[in-house]
Amino acid sequence: MNKILLTLLLISCPLAIHAADTSSSLKPILAGKHRSSEHKNRDQYRHPHQTLDFFDVKDNMTVVEIWPGDGWYTEILAPYLKEHGKLYTAHFAADAKEPRFQKSLQAFTSKLHDQPKIYGNVELTTLQPPDALQIAPDSSADRVLTFRNVHNWMKADQAPEVFKAMFRALKSGGILGVVEHRHSSLKPQDSHALSGYVSEDYVIALARNAGFEFLAKSEINANSKDTKDYPEGVWTLPPALRLKDKDRKKYLAIGESDRMTLKFVKP
């Protein structure tokens, strides 16, 4: 009798089976030799496993990663999606005006080319407002993910355009996942986010103005030790540690920033 009930449960709950498979397939990737010790050490702050679970990322989906930087999350998403899914990485333009953007893109491109077994199926696209906004074919993506980028778009007065580009790339029912340094709810939001911190309400408003509906939030990436009142903004904390040796132990003890983790859907 128990076997019959178990069989019926498994048939009626296929998503539970898939979630278990997702969990088991991410573990060897997170432990993989292709990830540096430095990147693995940041798992304690960035919680990649729990974050991707919250965004409900499956290995057969089409996913767009926005401004991947040096590829911290690409190291996880690329092997995870390689066999059954598709990964677009929307990076800087090759002719970007800022040299650091060009340098970042060159390093990322080299990373992809140097390890084709891992990154051979990754498709590199461009996000460089106001001109390059085609991060993936329209209505093609199941998930669009951005990690700690909203403050950069706000600083350059580009946030509304980027949110609209992410909206266009998603299928109806597709999910936008946002992780961002979280501003204090007791202080007014600087529209250019010069401290690097952004309020949850501000991000939710940006998403809604682009057409998204707010689904849920998670405290996966919260850090109650973060007081958000540092001389060099969020970059006072690790990994940047802009003050270098000054109060280094203090900021290391705080750890990386307090972060919101928000989920939106394209109707």
Which residues are within 8 A (CB) of 6 and not within 5 positions of it... i.e. 6 or more apart?
none
**pTM for this entry:** 0.91
Q: What is the pLDDT of residue 25?
A: 85
Range of the domain at 227: 2-265
Q: Smallest Cα–Cα separation from 74: which of 39, 44, 28? A: 39
Q: What is the pLDDT of residue 11?
A: 41
Q: What is the pLDDT of residue 15?
A: 42
Q: What is the pLDDT of residue 129?
A: 94
| Tens digit of each residue's pLDDT, the chain (267 residues) | 444 444 444 444 444 444 435 557 899 999 999 999 999 999 999 999 999 999 999 999 999 999 999 999 999 999 999 999 999 999 999 999 999 999 999 999 999 999 999 999 999 999 999 989 999 999 999 999 999 999 999 999 999 999 999 999 999 999 999 999 999 988 999 999 999 999 999 999 999 999 999 999 999 999 999 999 999 999 999 999 999 999 999 999 999 999 999 999 999
Residue 124 in tokens? 């590199």
Q: Smallest Cα–Cα separation from 179: which of 81, 65, 255, 34? A: 65
d(CA 136, CA 30): 26
CATH, residue 233: 3.40.50.150
Q: What is the pLDDT of residue 19?
A: 40
Which residues are within 8 A (CB) of 76 and not within 5 positions of it... i.e. 6 or more apart?
26, 29, 30, 35, 48, 52
Neighbours of 77 (CB within 10 A): 26
| 227-to-140, 245, 251, 255 alpha-carbon distances in Å | 40, 19, 11, 11
Number of domains composing the chain: 1
Q: What is the pLDDT of residue 22?
A: 58
Q: In sequence order, what DSSP letters do the residues of 7-22 get, joined into one string?
A: HHHHHH-HHHHHHHHH
d(CA 156, CA 130): 10
